[in-house]
Amino acid sequence: MVNEEMIQYVERLLPKKEEAIVEIERYAREHNVPIMDALSIETMLHMLKLVQPMRILEIGTAIGYSAIRMAKALPHVHIVTIERDEERYKQALVYVEQTNTKEQITLLFGDALDMGDEVKKHAPFDVLFIDAAKGQYRRFFELYEPLLSERGIIITDNVLFKGLVATHEPIEQKRIRQLIKKIQAYNEWLMAHPRYETVIIPIGDGIAISRKRGE
């Protein structure tokens, strides 16, 4: 059983981050911007270093934190990332400039569900990273999976939704109940996908890693 103490212990062992990254984390905390938690991002970066992708499509930039971490960890990668919240998109532009990752990151502003044609111009991608509206995961997957290269993988964050997908406790809020149902449906659909095999890693908010069957 992974408990909070264990998580904090592992986090304390992580290498020190550069000041610009710490500043983005601080901004996220102060402005309630949801960014990937420490262990999830480290796990994802480690896996990406093994996969060595050349191009990544990210759905859900927020303020650019994960895109910048990916760009720093993989100096040859190019990331195309989409955000629909204007304030966050503008802050991401600032941080991309400040961290000298402009050459590696293309920031797109808009709703990812309406941007298929625009995104297609940047395809193919070796990784699709889904980290946006939780109720729309399947739509993001179906819209952008065709843009993946032959060995492309899909990473979906927040598939355990703070453990709520597994709880037997009654949930008061209708909106949360509906969201839980949608994520559960996505997980079941994903695990049974005829062309992808998936593992769900119960770290942070839960990450699903899907790769093409038979690869």
Ligand X SMILES: C[S@@+](CC[C@H](N)C(=O)[O-])C[C@H]1O[C@@H](n2cnc3c(N)ncnc32)[C@H](O)[C@@H]1O
**How would you class 23 by CB atoms within 10 Å of its CB: exposed for 0-12, middle for 13-18, buried for 19 or more?**
middle
- Retrieve residue 80's tokens: 């195309």
* Closest CB 116 distance from ligand X, rounded Å: 12
Question: 89-109: string of b/e by CB count within 10 Å (b at 16+)?
Answer: bebbbebbeebebeebbbbbb
* Closest CB 91 distance from ligand X, rounded Å: 10
Q: How far apart, in whole angstroms, are the C-alpha atoms of residue 1 and residue 35? A: 24
Give 42 or 131: the residue with its C-beta nearer to ligand X. Answer: 131
Give 79 or 190: the residue with its C-beta nearer to ligand X. Answer: 79
User: In this structure, are residues 150 and 126 in contact, taking their beta carbons and an 8 Å threshold?
Assistant: no
Site residues for ligand X per CB under 6 A: 34-36, 60, 62, 65-66, 82-85, 88, 111-113, 131-133, 136
Give 126 or 131: the residue with its C-beta nearer to ligand X. Answer: 131
* Closest CB 129 distance from ligand X, rounded Å: 7
Q: How far apart, in whole angstroms, are the C-alpha atoms of residue 23 and residue 183? A: 31
- Give residue number: closest CB to ligand X: 60
Backbone angles phi, psi at 21, to 5 degrees: -75, -45
Give 7 or 212: the residue with its C-beta nearer to ligand X. Answer: 7
User: In this structure, are residues 204 and 36 in contact, taking their beta carbons and an 8 Å threshold?
Assistant: yes
* Closest CB 112 distance from ligand X, rounded Å: 3
Give 69 or 210: the residue with its C-beta nearer to ligand X. Answer: 69
* Closest CB 104 distance from ligand X, rounded Å: 15
